[in-house]
Amino acid sequence: METGLKNRVAIVAASSQGLGRATAEAFAAEGCRVAMCARNKETLSAAAEKIRSQYKTDVLAEAFDVTDAPAVRDFVNAVVQKFGSADICVTNAGGPPAKGFLATTIEEWKRAVELNFMSAVYFAHQVIPHMQKKKWGRIIAITSITTKQPVADLVYSNAVRAAVVGLVKSLANEFGKDGILVNNVGPGYTATDRLKELARSRSAASGQPEQEIFEGWAADAPLNRLGEPRELADTIVWLASERASYITGQTILVDGGLYKGL
């Protein structure tokens, strides 16, 4: 399938491992120039170097926290200075802690809003003017199945990610005239370190062995297995491509059928 993405500039936030990293790699495989970030410099540099050498493409990697608005601004400026544009922006961040409501704290609520909502605002704010100039752009938010179906003990995610869906729809409405398409992808249970972290915390709370927790998650989906990061990444690449040129304002789940609604 011809994606039309060769030489496009793809920013992928929170991308030293897991879903972000798989996405950065998938764009590099399409011939995009890629900009990556994460907090830990060593892990990020190693991931960037691997992608650079494997796909023989330009990669810009900078270590910062996506909740730091001035750092996001400086990063996007650096991307545009180096590559000349910011065509595609995938917003992403680490997940919030797994908790039921009464275990939550006000400080953690504020942190979840910063991490999983405001970080998307910061990126969108910076990239949209560049996309408007080119009359072409793609913003894709990585969120969660929780945008459609709340998950027990993930109350921060259940609540905060809904705001991202509102943002995505609003941006799609406002900037469609500029050729900017804005969508949201919601992973189901996908085999990354984040999922191991969730299994650990659930196991600590319930006493159920982690292996059983993984098996339960896999069995919840009609496809009867966990997702692979590459499966989410391929969906994001498709959404960014010319093959998805009439899709905007949508939430697309990549969940093996886990979502139970119509």
**Binding of ligand NAP at residue 248 (CB under 6 A)?**
no
By CB under 6 A, name the one of 12, 32, 60, 66 that touches ligand NAP: 66
Tally the residues of the chain.
262
CB of 42 to ligand NAP, least distance (A): 9
Burial degree of 217 (CB within 10 A; 0-12, 13-18, 19+): buried
- Provide the mask over 120-159, with x wherever binding to ligand NAP is found by CB under 6 A and - wherever it is not: ----------------------x-xx--------------
Cβ-proximal residues to 98 (8 Å cutoff; 6+ apart), any chain: 153, 154, 198, 201, 202
**Site for ligand NAP contains 115 (CB under 6 A):** yes
Gap between the Cα atoms of 65 and 68, Å rounded: 6
Of 5 and 142, the one with the shorter C-beta distance to ligand NAP is: 142
> Catalytic residues, which ones?
156
Q: Which stretch binds ligand NAP (CB under 6 A): 25-33, 50-58, 92-100, 205-213?
A: 92-100
Q: Which is nearer to ligand NAP, 20 or 137 (CB)?
A: 20
Considering only the stretches 49-57, 131-139, 182-190, 241-249, report the one whose residues sit in contact with ligand NAP under the rule CB under 6 A.
182-190
Question: Residue 179 and residue 130: Cα distance in Å, rounded?
Answer: 12
Q: Are 239 and 128 in contact, with CB atoms under 8 Å apart?
A: no
Please tell me the distance from the alpha carbon of residue 55 to that of residue 98, in angstroms, as a whole number: 36
Stretch of residues binding ligand NAP (CB under 6 A), selected from 10-18, 82-90, 123-131, 164-172: 10-18
Which of 51, 93, 199, 239 touches ligand NAP by CB under 6 A? 93
Per CB under 6 A, 184 contacts ligand NAP: no
Q: Is 189 in the site for ligand NAP (CB under 6 A)?
A: yes
Residue written as token pair 């196991």: 203
Q: What is the chain's percent helix, strand, coil content, to nearest 5?
A: 55, 15, 30
**Cα atoms found within 13 Å of the Cα of residue 216, Cβ hemisphere only:** 11
Residues at the site binding ligand NAP, with contacts judged by CB under 6 A: 14-20, 37-40, 43, 65-67, 92-95, 115, 142, 144-145, 187, 189-190, 192-195
